[in-house]
Amino acid sequence: MQLAEFEFLLDGVKVGTPSVSNPGGDNPGGETPDLAVDGSLATKWLDRRQGPLVFDFGSATTVDGYRWSTANDAPERDPVRWILEGSDDETNWDLVDERVDGDFQTPSARFTYTPILELNSAPAVQSFTVDRSLISAGVPVTLSWEVDPGTIGLSINQGVGPVTGVTTNGVGAISLDPGPTVTTVYEITATHANGDSTAQLVVTVTNMPVIHEFLATPAIVGPGESSTLSWEVFNADSLELDGVAVTGDFLAKTLAASQTFTLSATNANGVVTREVSVTVVEPGVPVINEFMANNDGDLVVDEDGDDSDWIEIYNPSGAVADLEGYFLTDDAGDLTKWAFPEGTLGVDGYLLVWASGKDRSVSGSELHTNFSLKSGGEYLALVKPDGITIVSEFGPGGSDYPDQDAGVSFGGFGEGQQQGYFLRATPGTENSSGFLGYVEDTMFSVDRGHFTDSFSLEISSETEGASIRYTIDGATPSKSEGILYTGPITVDRTMPVRAIAYLDGLKSTNVDTQTYLFVDDVVTQSSVTTQSIWRLPADWSGTSPDYGMNSSVALLHAATIKDDLKTVPSLSLAMPEEDLFGSNGIYANPLSSGINWERATSLELIDPSRPDGSMNFQIDCGIRIQGGAFRRFDLTKKKSFRLLFKGAYGDTKLRYPLFGDLTTDEFDTLIFRMESNDGYQWDNRTNVQYA
C-alpha cells in the first residue's frame, strides 16, 4: 500500500498537518508515514504490510472531506478499498467513511489526487455526554452537548424539556439536582434544516459504593515531596486507603519512592476499589514505563526472531541513568532475580529488555532476563542496586498485574500515572493513551438455536455502569451505532442479535452474535417476506433476487419439514445486508473477486443434536464469493461462499471438529459449495444436494 499525500479538508481547503503513525507497518527505504503529510508529491508512504495510518490532530478538528494522491510508481499498490474511522480516545473507534474502487475512478496517472471525497453531513448532535454515568440515587449529574450551530430547536426527554436557551454557538450544559433515582436513558433531539437528529446516553443508578474520582496531584514528585490524594465517593459507609480507615475527601502523602495507592469504598452491598500511582523521580533513576506479557510478534521480535515478552525501561529524570546493578524481578520474594550489566540510559531515553528466560546480560548487546512474564498476571518490579528499594512495580502488595491479551501492552499513562492497557503498544517510544481495563463480555439469557415460540431476551454485562447497544438486522453495533438496550427484547421471528457493551475509560467488548431461527419463517420465507420483514433489497445490481425457500421442496415435505429442520445442523451468517446484497455487496457483484471483495461476517453453527449448546460455535471471519462460471447470474442465483479466518477479524483459525474425530479440527478457510451441477435449480433432478 502506498500514497504520496493524504489531506483532510474543510470547504475544499486543507486542514492543518496532523502527526501520523503506521502501527505495525513495514516501511522500506525510509518511506515512512510522516511523508504522507509532508506536503510534497515527490515523497511517499509505503507499507508492505498494509497497516493503518493513524492521524492525530492533537485536539478536536472539523473536516468535511479528504483526498489522497497516487505516488510515483506501482499502480498495483494504490488504495482501492479502505475504512476511515474517528476516535476521541484512541481506544473506541467509530466509522466515518468506507470506500471501494467502484465508488469512483481511482486515478491511473502518477502524482495525481483523487477527487475530493465528501463525508456525510455532520449530524446535528455532535456529542451528548454526562459527567457521572454511574451514580447513587439522586446524586447530581450534568448533561453536556455540542450540536450544529444551525440547529433551530433542542430538547431533552425525561422531563428536562427545551434546552435551546442554555446553548450558545451549539454548546450547552444543564445540571440535574437531584439526579435520577433509577437508571435512566436521556435522549437529546436537535431540529435542523436537514431534519431531526438524536443521541442517547445512560445514567446508571447502583446501590453499590461509587468511586467517581481518585486522583494524585501532582502525580510526579521528587524524593521527599508530597502529593495530595483526593477522591469523590458516593454511597459508602466506610473508606480505607491501603487498608487504613480514612475520612474526608483528601489526604497528603510524602513519598521517598514511587507508590501505588488503593482506595476501598464499602457499604452493605459490597466493596469497590480504585488505584492511583505517584511516581517519584530521582535524578538518574529509571522506571518501568511499559511491558508486554503476551507478545504476538506483530511489532517487535528479539534477535533470535522469537516473539519474547518485553519490558521497556525509561529515564524520566534530568540526568543520565547508570543502570549497572539495577534489578528486574517477577518475584516479590526475590528482588535481585536478574541484574543489569554495565550501561547507561540518557535523559528521556528508552531501553527494551526482553523477558525471554534466555538470561543474557552482556553490555552493549541485546538484554534478556532469566524469567518470562505470565500473561495471566504476576508481579513485576525494577529495584535499585541496594536490592531493597523498589523503583517501580506492577502488582503491589502481593497482588498481580491483571490478565494480558496478545499484542496489548501495559504501563502508566496520563497525568495521574494510572496503570492500564495501551491498545497501541509503543516499544522504545513515548506511551500512547491508555484505558483502565475491559468491559466484561455481554451475556445473553437465551442461547442460539431453533425456536417455535416467541420469548424475551435479556442482555447484560457484569461491568457496573456499562451500556449495551444491539442490532437485529446483521449490522455491527458500536458505542454510537445500534439500539440502546434498556430492557428485554421480544424475539418472535428469525433474527441475529448482535451486541456490544461499553463504558467510558474501559475498552468496549467485542461484538457477540446469537442467531435465533424460527422454523416457520424458514419454511414460508419468500422474496416478498424477506423484503417486507427483513428489509432486504428488491434487486441485486439489476438482477431480481431469489431469497425464498423453494416451494416445491416445502410442499413435498410439508408433513415433516418443520421437525426435519429442527434436527439439521444449521450455519448462520450475520452481516450488514449492504455488504452482501447492496450495490457494493459481494452477492450482488459475484463476478468481482480478491481482497477488495471480501467482507466481515459472523459465522455460527447451531447443532440441535446437543440441546445444551455444547456443539455450537460462533466466530468472526471474512467472506467472499467462491467459484468460476457459476458466479454468473444467468447460470444460477445461488452462489458458493469462501470463509477466511484472519487476525483482522478475530481468531486466525476455526478450531472445531467439523468432520468428526478422524480428520483435522483446524481450518484456515472453508468453502460452502452450492453444488451447481447437482443443485436445486435444474429441473427433474433426483440427486439434489443442498449447501
217 shares a domain with 194: no
Q: What is the CATH number of the domain that holds 175?
A: 2.60.40.10
H/E segment holding residue 469: strand 467-471
158 shares a domain with 216: no
Residue-by-residue DSSP string for 31-100:
--GGGGGSS-TTS-EE-TT----EEE-SS----SEEEEE--SS-GGGS--EEEEEE-SSSSS-EEEEEEE
**Residue ranges of the chain with per-residue pLDDT less than 50:** 690-691
Measuring CA to CA, which residue among 611, 632, 615, 626 is closest to residue 674? 626
Asked if the peptide bond before residue 341 counts as cis, ω within 30 degrees of 0, the response is no
pLDDT at 423: 78
Indicate the residue among 185, 205, 225 that finishes a domain.
Answer: 205
Indicate the residue among 395, 419, 437 that finishes a domain.
Answer: 437
Query: What is the count of structural domains for the chain?
Result: 6
User: Do 171 and 196 contact (CB within 8 A), yes or no?
Assistant: no
397 shares a domain with 302: yes
Does 631 map to a domain? yes
pLDDT at 415: 60
248 shares a domain with 346: no
Average pLDDT, the chain: 89
pLDDT 10s digits, 487-506: 999 999 999 999 999 998 88
220 shares a domain with 195: no
296 shares a domain with 372: yes
- The residue range of the domain holding 646 is 538-546+557-678
Indicate the residue among 103, 118, 133 that finishes a domain.
Answer: 118
Does 526 map to a domain? no
pLDDT at 525: 86
638 shares a domain with 594: yes
Contacts (Cβ under 8 Å, ≥6 apart) of 240:
246, 263, 264, 266
Does 221 map to a domain? yes
Does 688 map to a domain? no
Does 60 map to a domain? yes
201 shares a domain with 217: no
Residue-by-residue DSSP string for 591-605:
T--SGGG-EEEEEEE
Alpha-carbon distance of 352 to 368, in angstroms, equals 9
Does 373 map to a domain? yes
Does 371 map to a domain? yes
396 shares a domain with 457: no
289 shares a domain with 425: yes
Alpha-carbon distance of 651 to 59, in angstroms, equals 34
User: Do 276 and 260 contact (CB within 8 A), yes or no?
Assistant: yes
200 shares a domain with 252: no
Does 152 map to a domain? yes
H/E segment holding residue 519: helix 519-524
Alpha-carbon distance of 591 to 628, in angstroms, equals 9
431 shares a domain with 405: yes
pLDDT at 686: 54
